Amino acid sequence: MCYTTGSCRTLPGGPSCRRLGERHRGGAGRSAVASYVQRREGELFVADSRVTLHSVIASWQRGAVPGRIRESFPSLPLVAIYGAITYYLEHQGEFDAGFRATHELLATHQATVEAQRPAFFTGMRARLAAHRAERGEDWPDQPPR
């Protein structure tokens, strides 16, 4: 819902307001933080990039600091990563429900695909673990639930 007009509806995964990112403070204008999040093609992206807000927030929720997230998404300026995290925190309740639904859908799909080719996925996980160990990475295969 809009903070002042109350006329917008919220969709899973984020606000659907035409004035995305505006705090609707009596028409005072756009929040500086909101300029780092844009709705395009039915998805929320960080700044003018093709990196989704969900990708950045998932990394952050797994424990990556903004500098590390920047290494994973070099097209994003560090300030945009901080802005995206701040925007998420300002709208956390709205996003978390959408994120949970997305995770459940993907988990169901992943389980179906893995059941069809278990040996392939076991081998891929072993190779990924070896690669991460070699690089000193310790990210889990799956985001926390």
**pLDDT tens string 19-54:** 444 443 333 445 666 789 999 998 999 999 999 999
pLDDT of residue 81 exceeding 80, the answer is yes
Q: State the Cα–Cα distance between residues 145 and 40, nearest whole angstrom.
A: 27
- Domain ranges for the chain: 10-135
Burial status of residue 2 (CB atoms within 10 A of its CB: 0-12, 13-18, 19 or more): middle
Tens digits of per-residue pLDDT, 98-143?
888 988 999 999 999 999 999 999 999 999 999 988 888 765 554 4
Burial of 139 (0-12, 13-18, 19+ CB in 10 A): middle
The token duo for 135 is 């690089």
Asked if pLDDT for residue 83 goes beyond 90, the answer is yes
pLDDT at 56 over 70: yes
Which pTM does this prediction carry? 0.59
Comparing 4 with 123, the larger pLDDT belongs to 123
What was the pLDDT predicted at 140?
56
pLDDT at position 105: 94
* pLDDT for 141: 52
Annotation: CATH topology of 10-135: Arc Repressor Mutant, subunit A (1.10.10)
Q: Which residue has the higher pLDDT, 2 or 69?
A: 69
Whether residue 63 is predicted with pLDDT greater than 90 in this model: the reply is yes
- Cα distance between residue 132 and residue 126, in whole Å: 10
Q: What is the pLDDT of residue 125?
A: 93
What pLDDT does 27 receive? Answer: 39
